């Protein structure tokens, strides 16, 4: 991977994590433990890919990304809540996430449930109170985030995943689930950047299509990594999905064909950017990065 | 109870339930089961006291309440999500709610978790897209609802409840927990009505204080009913809180003193309304109703 882009990602991640680290502070000793659980998961690392996509798209659209860090943090709060609930014993029952105990193992399932609920709620408060944005734009961001995270978006995808362990067995049905479970919340920050920059319909459409392509790419690579990854590399146990009996792109298509499909999405993402006049911007570095990531 | 007021409550409940019954519709066969779980709990009855308080306050403030039914439904979605998560095996582990199986017993804990998540998310979408309201007012409603439902409000109260089973043993600490767990989401619709009507600071303050008084009243009566209620009357098993070893107003103060405190709050609520010039409005009927309710 391009060293400049590696540095770019690292710098953006640090900008986001600096804000995240002081974002949530308990206002009473009696809720300290709740905030501890929220911060435990929110500050457990991760690529911060969703807020970085927001910042990158804002920069491409000519907006000062530093004004909208809290909007990026809101998206990260929603992502973190979804991981906490996804890991619960009644869901995927995972003990490790990013090399650390999952929230319910470190605390309890009850506290993890509430910490997830609280992070989701706080996300909307963050957007409602985001500075530097006209009320109608903030409201549009609330709507986009709610739709991306809700029953026709991410939660809908999680529901399909919960129900479909062994029957969700065509690449098409898997792609439908992933578009909701993973794609919606990867596309949302790009669309949110478009709203903030008040971009035109054609460019908004390019952002949506680009988001869909890298969302699918992201999920295929996740499945490839889940097969070969180690706990040390991935921060979770390998082969978890296969163990759960869930279909993945790898079990349905084989490693080679799965990788080929990921490559196709990377090329598609690139073509969308080129057509939008963004072929040589920072956004054009993400497909290659997502294709070659090792965790 | 006043027959006119009984009719008023019934009429308002029907208005709310008419909207709720068509509010959430699955857009894909693959998410039908998620919507079924959301609607199962959302349409399971209940007093609808929170949206009715919104409508009542709007009427007192001279606004057409029919324009804002979706805002009331959003508050009810948040309330319903909190009940679903509160009933989960990892939380209170309740089998019955309002005389029906709880969401996780009717479906599964995984689906109930997701149905709760989805209802919370949908609530913010409903407010972001509420008609008849300027963007800055809708945004203020998002902020108020998020704060009331979040870690410094309702979820904070649930956390304190989860942690405090046996140590939360003074009336003052119980009151602090209930103010968050129950009070915040009872006060929110009153404040939201004040925002919609753009009422002045003095009247907004009266709405907050009135909400706090009836919130505390509501919770004390809940504890009294939990002691003496039957499954048929309450829709849940009696003595649940005592069985869980949780302190209640009844275990800490005894029935007579608990009832006296509820009466005190009813009088306080009435005095607040009188001082605000609302002594003879429909809002003044709620304290008596909440004091004498049997479920």
* Residue ranges of B 44-83 with Cβ closer than 8 A to chain A: 81
Q: Find which of A27, A112, A113 to mutate to test the B interface (most B CBs within 10 Å of its CB).
A: A113
The model's pLDDT over A206-220, given as tens digits with 9 standing for 90+, comes to 999 999 999 999 999
Task: Tell me the nearest-neighbour CA distance from A180 into chain B, angstroms.
Answer: 11
A93 touches chain B (CB under 8 A): no
| Radius of gyration of the CA atoms of chain A, in A | 18
Q: pLDDT-derived band of residue A65, with 50, 70 and 90 as boundaries?
A: very high
Q: Which of B31, B124, B150 minimises the CB distance to A142? A: B124
Average pLDDT for A260-282 = 97
Quick one: pLDDT at residue A241? 58
The residue of chain B nearest to residue A107, with distances taken between CA atoms, is B163
Domain A3-22+30-292 = CATH 1.10.3720.10:
no
Q: Could you tell me which residue, B162 or A233, shows the higher pLDDT?
A: B162
Which secondary structure element, helix H or strand E, spans residue B97, and what is its range? strand B96-97
Structure tokens at B70: 């979706």
With a cut of 0.85, is the ipTM above it? Answer: yes
C-alpha B247/C-alpha B167 separation (Å) is 8
Quick one: pLDDT at residue B240? 59
Pairing of β A96-97 and β B100-101 = unpaired
Task: Tell me the nearest-neighbour CA distance from B272 into chain A, angstroms.
Answer: 28
Please, where are the H alpha helices in chain B? Answer: 3-21, 32-42, 49-60, 69-87, 103-106, 109-128, 135-149, 154-163, 171-178, 184-196, 201-228, 231-234, 240-243, 249-253, 255-275, 286-292
Query: Max alpha carbon distance in chain B (Å)?
Result: 54
Distances (CA, A) of B144 to A250, A271, B123, B189: 46, 43, 12, 9
Size of interface A-B (CB pairs under 8 A): 170
Structure tokens at B187: 């006060």
Burial A178-211 (b: 16+ CB within 10 A, else e): bbbbbbbbbbbbbbbbbbbbebeeebbebbbbbb
Chain B residues touching A138 at Cβ < 8 A:
135, 139
Burial A125-153 (b: 16+ CB within 10 A, else e): bbbbbbeebeeebbbbbbbbbbbbbbbbb
C-alpha B88/C-alpha A114 separation (Å) is 11
Quick one: pLDDT at residue B294? 78
Pairing of β A100-101 and β A96-97 = antiparallel
**A139/B143 CB distance under 8 A:** no
Chain A residues touching B151 at Cβ < 8 A:
24, 26, 31, 34-35, 38, 118, 121-122
Q: Which of A110, A146, A147 minimises the CB distance to B162? A: A110
Q: Is the pLDDT confidence value at A230 over 50?
A: no
DSSP string, A274-289: HHTT-TTSGGGGHHHH
A30-34, A84-88, A161-165, range with the lowest pLDDT:
A161-165
Distances (CA, A) of B155 to A115, A123, B166: 8, 14, 19
Chain centre to alpha carbon of residue A53: 10
Domain ranges of chain A: 3-22+30-292
C-alpha B264/C-alpha B175 separation (Å) is 14
10-residue averages of pLDDT along chain B (295 residues): 90 98 97 98 96 98 96 98 98 94 98 98 98 95 98 97 75 94 97 98 98 96 81 52 74 95 97 98 96 85
* % pLDDT > 90, chain A: 87
Structure tokens at A94: 């995972």
C-alpha A194/C-alpha A203 separation (Å) is 8
Distances (CA, A) of B70 to A137, A138, B15, B286: 21, 20, 11, 22
**A117/B117 CB distance under 8 A:** yes
C-alpha B219/C-alpha B175 separation (Å) is 9
Beta carbons within 8 Å of B189's beta carbon, 6+ residues apart: B50, B51, B53, B54, B57, B72, B75
Q: Which of A85, A135, A139 minimises the CB distance to B113? A: A85
Quick one: pLDDT at residue B230? 44
Chain B residues touching A135 at Cβ < 8 A:
134-136, 138-139
Beta carbons within 8 Å of B264's beta carbon, 6+ residues apart: none
Q: Which of B125, B127, B143 minimises the CB distance to A125? A: B143
Task: Tell me the nearest-neighbour CA distance from A75 into chain B, angstroms.
Answer: 13
Taking each helix axis from N to C terminus, what angle separates B109-128 and A154-163, rounded to the nearest 10 degrees?
A: 160
Quick one: pLDDT at residue A169? 80
**B117/A113 CB distance under 8 A:** no
What angle is formed at CA B126 by the lines to CA B69 and CA A177, rounded to 5 degrees? 140
In angstroms, how far is the first alpha carbon of chain A from the final one?
14
Q: Are A119 and A84 in contact (CB under 8 A)?
A: yes
- The mean of the pLDDT values for chain A is 93
CB-hemisphere CA count at 13 Å for B137?
A: 16
Quick one: pLDDT at residue A73? 98
Question: Length of chain B in residues, anyone?
Answer: 295
Q: Which of B33, B90, B125 minimises the CB distance to A150? A: B125
A114 touches chain B (CB under 8 A): yes
C-alpha A235/C-alpha A87 separation (Å) is 13
- Would the pTM of this model clear 0.90, i.e. be above it? yes
The model's pLDDT over A159-187, given as tens digits with 9 standing for 90+, comes to 999 997 555 589 999 999 999 999 999 99
């Amino acid at each position: 991977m391009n060293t400049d882009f590696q540095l770019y990602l690292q710098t953006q991640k640090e900008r986001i994590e600096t804000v995240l680290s002081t974002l949530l502070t308990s206002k009473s000793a009696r809720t300290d433990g709740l905030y501890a659980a929220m911060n435990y998961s929110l500050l457990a690392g991760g690529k911060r890919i969703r807020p970085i996509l927001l910042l990158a798209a804002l920069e491409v659209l000519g907006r000062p990304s530093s004004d909208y860090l809290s909007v990026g943090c809101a998206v990260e709060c929603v992502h973190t809540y979804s991981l906490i609930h996804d890991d619960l014993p009644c869901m995927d029952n995972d003990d490790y996430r990013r090399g650390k105990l999952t929230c319910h193992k470190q605390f309890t399932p009850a506290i993890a449930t509430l910490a997830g609920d609280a992070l989701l709620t706080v996300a909307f408060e963050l957007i409602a109170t985001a500075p530097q944005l006209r009320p109608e734009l903030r409201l549009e961001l609330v709507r986009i985030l709610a739709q991306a995270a809700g029953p026709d978006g991410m939660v809908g995808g999680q529901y399909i995943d919960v129900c479909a362990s062994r029957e969700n067995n065509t690449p098409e049905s898997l792609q439908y689930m992933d578009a909701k479970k993973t794609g919606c919340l990867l596309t949302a920050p790009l669309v949110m950047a478009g709203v903030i920059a008040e971009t035109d319909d054609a460019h908004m459409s390019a952002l949506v299509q680009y988001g869909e392509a890298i969302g699918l790419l992201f999920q295929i690579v996740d499945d490839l990594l889940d097969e070969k990854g180690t706990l040390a590399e991935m921060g979770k146990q390998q082969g978890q999905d296969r163990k759960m009996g869930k279909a993945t792109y790898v079990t349905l298509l084989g490693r080679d064909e799965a990788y080929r499909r990921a490559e196709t999405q990377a090329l598609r993402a690139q073509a969308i950017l080129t057509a939008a006049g963004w072929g040589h911007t920072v956004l054009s570095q993400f497909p290659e990065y997502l294709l070659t990531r090792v965790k």
